[in-house]
Amino acid sequence: MAIFGLFGGTADAQDAAIVAAALRSDRFRQERERDWQRLEEIVRRMESGRFRKLSDADVLELPVLYRTVASSLSVARETSLDAATLAYLEGLVQRAWFQVYGPRITLWGWLRRFFGGEWSAAVRAIGPELLVALTLMVAGTVVGWLLCAQDPDWYYSLVPGGFQDERVPGATHEVLRQTLFGMQDKDGLSIFAASLFSHNAGIAILCFALGFAFGVPPLLLLIQNTATLGAMLWLFHGQGLTVDFVGWLSIHGTTELFAILLAGGAGLHVGRSMAFPGQRSILAAAAEAGQRAAVVMAGVVLMLVLAGMLEGLGRQLIDNTMGRYVVGYSMLTLWLVYFFAFRRVPQGSEAR
């Protein structure tokens, strides 16, 4: 009998604990439910897009009610209230957080802000690094030319195998000219264009991604990539095709090489901020520079896509040097005007 009494007592205690917990949960809810309902009403209106029906009092109450309900959720978790109350509060707090702290801009709004000044402002902000990157690209081109002029075997080291085909030292004027004109319908040109685009896109991405190593890898990548350009310029110059080759390259190269320049500058910007953080911590300096550089790189991706379209379509539609120069340097003028003459900065932009 004592044993049954013991079990009976335990069951009664459990029932009493359950009843006490239910009463505590009900009392907790009754004391705070008006705030929860008020917040839910405001959030529901905002989610349905009925912002005009929100009064000034609603807008002012929103952050206060959010903090109150978040506090209720914290207490509910600590006191192990019933699962239904916890689930309700968690869902309400998540919805309210999005309305209080979530993004307020649509995709169209972001695009308008990005192209309306944020991208160009970010590019101007890394101006010193762009000058360094441009100097390195010019130096790399000159080095590639001089190395091949001294020893033609350097050409095979500097120019990737996928770029060579008939474009090798010893090729005649006619052979090299045929690689520039009258090949719109030949698969070889498409393969070469795709190879060149993927190579340059990879260089651009690496220049930015490796910037955290204090900017050293981007320096080397810029020199190495433009040394390839210098080697090819040497090859075509040797057969009197410099003007035609530059025109052939310009139709997409002014955009593609500009994109590489921006990517190299963005990588250098991150590396310089880490090497010379000033009064900030290295982490804080890298985070700030990384945000600015990320804006630049978002535009670089778009430039590379556009360069690929110019490369794939422009060479099929334009088979003369003058037309290629017109398209190529019109694009270069467009980029220069946009980045350095278009000075509007959207309000709240991080790239100032």
Mean pLDDT per 10-residue interval, the chain, length 352 residues: 49 53 65 83 78 74 83 77 78 81 68 86 91 93 95 89 73 87 57 56 68 68 88 93 91 90 88 81 82 89 85 76 91 92 58 42
In a domain, 352, yes or no: no
Pair of tokens at residue 218? 């981007």
How many domains are there within the chain? 2
In a domain, 208, yes or no: yes
In a domain, 1, yes or no: no
The residue out of 80, 101, 122 marking a domain boundary is: 101
Chain centroid to Cα 213, Å, comes to: 19
213 and 144: one domain? Answer: yes
15 and 120: one domain? Answer: no
Quote the pLDDT of residue 3: 47
In a domain, 329, yes or no: yes
138 and 264: one domain? Answer: yes
Task: Give me the domain span that covers residue 275.
Answer: 108-340
In a domain, 346, yes or no: no
25 and 114: one domain? Answer: no
In a domain, 347, yes or no: no
**d(Cα 339, Cα 117) in Å, to the nearest integer?**
9
End-to-end Cα distance, the chain: 83
**d(Cα 286, Cα 324) in Å, to the nearest integer?**
40
**d(Cα 171, Cα 162) in Å, to the nearest integer?**
16
Contacts of 157 (CB under 8 A, 6+ apart): none
271 and 226: one domain? Answer: yes
The residue out of 101, 129, 150 marking a domain boundary is: 101
Are 303 and 208 in contact by the 8 Å Cβ rule? The answer is no
The residue out of 101, 128, 151 marking a domain boundary is: 101
In a domain, 326, yes or no: yes
167 and 268: one domain? Answer: yes
197 and 334: one domain? Answer: yes
Q: DSSP letters along 239-271, please?
A: TT-HHHHHHHHHHHHHHHHHHHHHHHHHHHHHH
14 and 117: one domain? Answer: no
157 and 239: one domain? Answer: yes
In a domain, 350, yes or no: no
Are 297 and 208 in contact by the 8 Å Cβ rule? The answer is yes
65 and 112: one domain? Answer: no
131 and 81: one domain? Answer: no
96 and 208: one domain? Answer: no
